C-alpha cells in the first residue's frame, strides 16, 4: 500500500486546500489521518489514484512525501502491537510511520512504513496482509 505524507504549517484552511486539490484532480480519499503538533501538522493520505494525487499536490505549496507501507493484521488486544514493534527494535529497524487503519471484530489492521521494507516484510510475514 502506498501512502502520501505531508508535513506543513498547522493553520486554518490547510486541510481544505489539500482536499480541494485532490478533488479538482478527481482523486478520491481512501483514508486521511491528520495530527497537529504546535505550529506543525502531519497529514497522511491514502488515495484511489496515487500518481494523480502526487501530481495534484505538486501544484500546491505543500511538499508531499510518498512511501510504501505494508499492512499487517493483528489481534485487537493489549500487547499485540507491542509484540510486533519489539521485532523492529530487536532488528534495529527504524519506523518511518505507523498507523492503525482499522479496528473491527477483534482484529486491527496497521500500516507500517520503514526505509528497510524488504527486511521489515520478513519480520512480519506471519501477519502481513500486503
Angle at 91 between CA 116 and CA 5, to 5 degrees: 35
What pLDDT was estimated at residue 119? 95
Q: What are phi and psi of 23, to 5 degrees?
A: -60, -40
What pLDDT was estimated at residue 130? 59
Q: Tell whether 7 and 50 lie within a shared domain.
A: yes
CATH of the domain at 104: 3.30.70.260
Of 50, 68, 86, the residue that ends a domain is 68
Model pTM score: 0.63
For residue 130, is it within any domain?
Answer: no
What pLDDT was estimated at residue 1? 66
**Average pLDDT by stretches of 10, the chain with 130 residues:** 84 95 96 84 90 94 83 92 97 91 83 90 90
Segments forming the whole domain that contains residue 92: 70-123
Q: Tell whether 58 and 114 lie within a shared domain.
A: no
β partners of residue 101? none
Element of type H or E holding 99: strand 95-104
Amino acid at each position: 500500500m502506498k501512502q502520501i505524507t505531508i508535513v506543513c504549517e498547522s493553520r486554518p484552511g490547510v486541510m481544505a486546500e489539500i482536499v480541494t486539490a485532490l478533488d479538482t484532480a478527481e482523486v478520491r480519499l481512501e483514508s486521511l489521518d491528520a495530527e497537529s503538533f504546535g505550529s506543525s501538522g502531519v497529514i497522511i493520505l491514502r488515495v484511489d489514484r496515487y500518481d494523480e494525487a502526487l501530481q495534484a499536490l505538486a501544484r500546491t505549496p505543500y511538499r508531499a512525501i510518498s512511501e510504501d507501507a505494508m499492512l499487517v493484521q493483528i489481534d485487537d488486544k493489549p500487547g499485540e502491537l507491542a509484540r510486533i514493534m519489539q521485532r523492529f527494535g530487536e532488528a534495529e529497524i527504524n519506523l518511518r510511520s505507523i498507523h492503525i487503519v482499522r479496528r473491527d471484530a477483534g482484529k486491527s489492521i496497521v500500516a507500517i512504513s520503514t526505509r528497510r521494507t524488504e527486511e521489515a516484510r520478513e519480520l512480519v510475514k506471519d501477519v502481513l496482509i500486503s
